[in-house]
C-alpha cells in the first residue's frame, strides 16, 4: 500500500534515494558522505590519459640478436 502511495505521488526517485541511504546505514553503520547513482558515477569518470612515448630513432638501441636471421 505504501509503494502504491509513492507511485501515485510520483515520488519514486526520492523513495529510492531514501531506501538506498537506509540500506547503507543498516549495512555499514555509517552515513555515506555522498551517494551518486551509477549513471552519475560513470559520467563523472575520466580515464587517465597517457602521453604517447616518442623516441627519436637515434636513441633506439638495436639488439644484435634480433637482427640475426632465423635458422631454416
Check: pTM over 0.85? Answer yes or no: no
pLDDT 10s digits, 16-55: 888 988 998 898 888 777 766 777 777 777 777 776 666 5
Q: Is 10 exposed, middle or buried (0-12, 13-18, 19+ CB in 10 A)?
A: exposed
C-alpha 44/C-alpha 47 separation (Å) is 10
Amino acid at each position: 500500500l505504501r509503494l502504491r502511495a509513492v507511485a501515485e505521488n510520483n515520488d519514486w526517485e526520492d523513495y529510492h534515494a531514501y531506501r538506498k541511504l537506509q540500506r547503507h546505514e543498516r549495512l555499514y553503520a555509517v552515513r555515506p558522505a555522498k551517494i551518486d547513482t551509477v549513471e552519475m558515477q560513470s559520467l563523472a569518470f575520466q580515464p587517465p590519459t597517457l602521453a604517447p612515448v616518442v623516441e627519436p630513432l637515434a636513441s633506439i638501441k638495436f639488439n644484435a640478436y634480433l637482427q640475426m636471421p632465423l635458422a631454416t
